[in-house]
Structure 1
Amino acid sequence: MLIDKIGIDAGGSLVKLAYFEQGKIHTKTFSNQEMDNVVKWLSFLSPNAELYVTGGKARALNKLSSNNCHLIDEFQSVTTGTKYLLKEKGIVNKEFILVNIGTGTSIFHVTANSFERVLGSGIGGGTLMGLGYLITRKKDFQTFTQMSSKGDSRNSDLLVRDIYYPEEPPIDGDLTAANLGKAHLYSDATEHDHLASVMQLIGETILLLASQVATRKKTSQIVFIGGTVTNNPVLKDVLNRFRDMMNYEPVFLDKGTHAGAIGALIEI
């Protein structure tokens, strides 16, 4: 079947692609270190397809590809793609907070007819890859997610109850007082524990920022997308864990990693 249009989000770590085939959206992912393979795959799939490209590496891909490329606004693409995926999931909400956790993190306030990028943070997937390497000397994202699932962040994080021990703390003793704050004190903590603590650091930091935006904008639904949260149950658990305490409604999208590529695909 002829594929005449492909949406691409060429980001800081991953190149995400989306295209329609037989009425359904299909997706594919490459490392952004594999640009030559991306170009080869595009030539194999559909050498004459129009490319609608967004993301920080969009111009780099444009220079490599012989396809006709159209550069699309990154923020517009990711919000448009998220709205499409929410509708596909049966969620119709005219206003929400969008948290895109990629290499870094962007936080948007999205309404029916507009969007605003409110905040950004250098905490994200790049943090996981960098600290994960320093802890383990490994470089694989899935290795870090698997290792963190076997760890206990309480062996690496300094908790409120650790500070107040043996007295009773005035607030929940299981709250984090300092991320990785016990890593140098507890010699029995493992690499798995430290990686679990890194996930806690990323999740807690992003959630605190997102909840502040949600409070300011007076909306409770927070939609989490991006390559860092996809197939990452430990991070999802952190982002879910405080919903009663902080009064927010988390939403995770199956194709959230590809929201920008999907938005670029359907934008024009």
Structure 2
Amino acid sequence: MGRQIDLSGAEIRADPGDGSPPIFLPRQPAASPLLALDIGGTLIKLVYTASCGGEEELRFAKFERRRLDDCFDFVRAQGLLGCNGTTTGSSKENMTLKATGGGSYKFGDDFRQKLGVSLDKLDEMDSVVSGANFLLQNVPGAAFTHMSGKRNSIDISPDNLFPYLLVNIGSGVSILKVTGNRKFERVTGTHIGGGTMFGLAKLLTGCKSYDEFLQLSQKGDNFVLDLVVKDICGELACQKQGLSTSTLASSFGKVITSMKKLADYKPEDLASALLSAFTYNIAQISFLVASLLGLRRVFFGGSYIRGHKSTMDNISYALDFWSESQMQASFLQHEGYLGALGALMSYGDPRDENLNLEESQEENSHEAAGPTDVTSADEHNDSNIFPYLLVNIGSGVSMIEVSQHTAFILFIICALALLSAKNNLVR
């Protein structure tokens, strides 16, 4: 069995607002460094051990995937290949690094040719969940809320952690129900995530990096392009119906009636509108999934967030709004490194000895229950159409559960409207 990491007493000593500060491991014996990687669709994330003032700590680094050679140079410069990982012999060519993410397959040969190491490929979702559980169970202050610009640390007892919903936002979005250590179900996900947003941002604003896009969005005003309820109903009608005049009705909706061309819009306003559109949408999907599963605790992770205040505020506001304050969005200090953290934790774990990706998937497959047919006999009867879900797609999208009772009310309203119109014609 390989080296294990002693997590007892782990703590963050730096200002919690400083991005991804080191995590000190005061009881970890000094030894050669360990390195694990998460090679995603956009970024390469690294977590590694290093010595600082006689103590061991976890450090974090990331590179754009297109800058793979820069990552190799960093690994060499930091001396992260010195007896790192596990070996099957005495030569460096037999050295193995723990890695997860789809890129661990695509770039396995590059690591072998450029660094002389093999990649032990771990299941991505298993690594993400292990990384999240490590932070939540071992690092005080790793979880926090962020609402209206205010950050508050939250302490969660390991005895009261499960179950929870983990929304991991990277190039795409994965939503997982976590019920224990290495016990989870990938409930659903969407391909419309950070990769989609940044791709559109590059086309619309010309920004060259995701961080540049986030900085642009901070300076912009999304309401230059976004349609709000007041724009549709007018301020007086909003007051009569008890609606907030600033409630977002349609992202980019004002563009439909505008004579402006793309060049007439400021890049920062376009960036702000993109960020709010994607963030609110992901938060609403998360709310719907949490509601279906009966979960109130929702953690958000992934490199999409990056500690960006507006992103966290938007997610928190949306989840609070849709749940009527019954759910609270929580975030993680090292949200972009969950997969790499989980991969690092697998060093010396006897459960990971000789455990390949296929076996890992089989181990967790019993957690993923298949869809259940809960349709009643009445619903199978074609003559009974109620209840059903009405999805009304206009400038925005409304979803309405229609029962026989609500349909009758709608029929009466429509009949009265037709009668009124007929009377007006007679006059």
TM range (shorter): over 0.9
Can you list the C-alpha shifts for 1:5-53, whole angstroms capped at 9, x where unaligned? 3111000000001122343211110111112222232233222422110
Q: Of 24, 33, 41, which aligns to 2:57?
A: 24
* Counterpart AA for 2:291: T
What is the 5 A alignment of 1:157-168?
157-165=226-234, 167-168=236-237
Aligned to 1:125: 194
Aligned to 2:103: 57
The higher relative CO (CA closer than 8 Å, separation ≥ 6) is in: 1
Cα deviation, residue 146, structure 1: 1.1
Can you list the C-alpha shifts for 1:60-102, whole angstroms capped at 9, x where unaligned? 3321121232111000000110111122134331111111111
Distance 1:217 1:14 in 2: 31
Give aligned-pair identity as a percent. Answer: 29
Aligned to 1:83: 133
Runs of 4 or more off by more than 4 Å in structure 1? 186-189
Aligned to 1:266: 345
Distance 1:144 1:16 in 2: 20
Q: Of 135, 139, 148, which aligns to 2:204?
A: 135
Deviates more, 1:56-65 or 1:100-109: 56-65
What is the 5 A alignment of 1:1-268?
2-21=31-50, 22-44=55-77, 45-47=79-81, 48-50=83-85, 51-65=97-111, 66-87=116-137, 88=139, 89=142, 90-92=155-157, 93-113=161-181, 114-165=183-234, 167-169=236-238, 170=241, 171-186=243-258, 187=260, 190-245=266-321, 246=323, 247-267=326-346, 268=349
Distance 2:129 2:117 in 1: 25
1:132, 1:139 within 8 Å by CA — same for their partners in 2? no
Distance 2:176 2:235 in 1: 43
Q: CA RMSD in A?
A: 1.9
Deviates more, 1:114-123 or 1:39-48: 39-48
SS at match of 1:77: helix
SS at match of 2:213: helix
SS at match of 1:120: strand
1:3, 1:19 within 8 Å by CA — same for their partners in 2? no
Q: Which runs of 5+ in 2 are unaligned?
A: 1-29, 86-96, 143-154, 350-427
Larger radius of gyration: 2
TM-score by length of 2: 0.59
Q: Which runs of 5+ in 1 are unaligned?
A: none
